[in-house]
Amino acid sequence: MRCAFVIGSVAALAACTSTSSMPPAPPVPDPTAGYVTKLPPYRLQVGDVLDVRLMLNPELNEEVAVRPDGHISTTVVPDELAYNRTVPELTEALRRGYSRDLRNPRISVLVKSFAPTRIYVGGEVNTPGEFINVGPTLTLSQAIARAGGHKVRGDSGAIFIIRRGPDDAPQFFQANYNAVIKGRDPLADVRLAPFDVVYVPKTGIAEVFDFFNQYLLQFVPISWGFSYVVNPGAGGTTILNPGS
């Protein structure tokens, strides 16, 4: 009777999944799926490779990379900030720099190759590590999927994001991952920023289990013994904790 009750309860819970209120997936995706009407201007990143070209002075054409300090160096301009600038902003800054040596320099800047974005996933996931992506950064669910999903010991309701804010100061943000994997809120699948760290902590039960194994068992050894009776029909002998 109890088994039938449990099976019935599980079946009732399964029938009440949150996906029942979702529209069915179309057989063919809409051509506009994932299309953004207006993207923000691209801002140069460390590791981007740029072509600096001068129409009237081709001998000064050169290829430069954005250094780890965010600056570039050309033959004429030894040090110019490039990081987080748009291409037009950098072009105008270089034009001012070249104007000290050239009359009316006609400069163009082309991004030859883009530095890939990096995010990190750690904690209770199956394959933690650094994940590299070219193009838009990963979303929360994509990052955890790249890391092989969270372990059973992972607390999916307490996942958080570590992000470098202004002046490289670390910031913490909560992530409502349960709302994503349970189909409650698609907006909870936030897009990550470059160099974000997604951390999946342990559940409270896992923390207690680890504490028990790491500390209590070291100093308070427990013997998991038992007792039994030899030849009980003849008033046999009781043996306690054999092997201890």
- Tell me the pLDDT tens digit for each residue of 104-151: 999 999 999 999 989 999 999 999 999 998 878 899 999 999 999 999
How far is Cα 239 from Cα 190, in angstroms, rounded to an integer?
62
The superfamily (CATH) of domain 116-224 is Outer membrane lipoprotein wza domain like (3.10.560.10)
- Length, in residues, of the chain: 244
Topology given in CATH for the domain delimited by 49-113:
wza like fold (3.30.1950)
Asked if pLDDT for residue 227 goes beyond 60, the answer is no
- What average pLDDT does range 16-22 have in this prediction? 67
User: Which pair of structure tokens corresponds to residue 71?
Assistant: 């600056």
**Helix spans in 65-203 (H):** 87-98, 140-146, 177-181
Are 49-113 and 116-224 in the same CATH fold?
A: no
Residue whose pair of structure tokens reads 């309701």 in the numeric block:
157
Domain ranges of the chain: 49-113, 116-224
pLDDT at residue 85, rounded to an integer: 97
With 0.75 as the threshold, say if the pTM is over it.
no
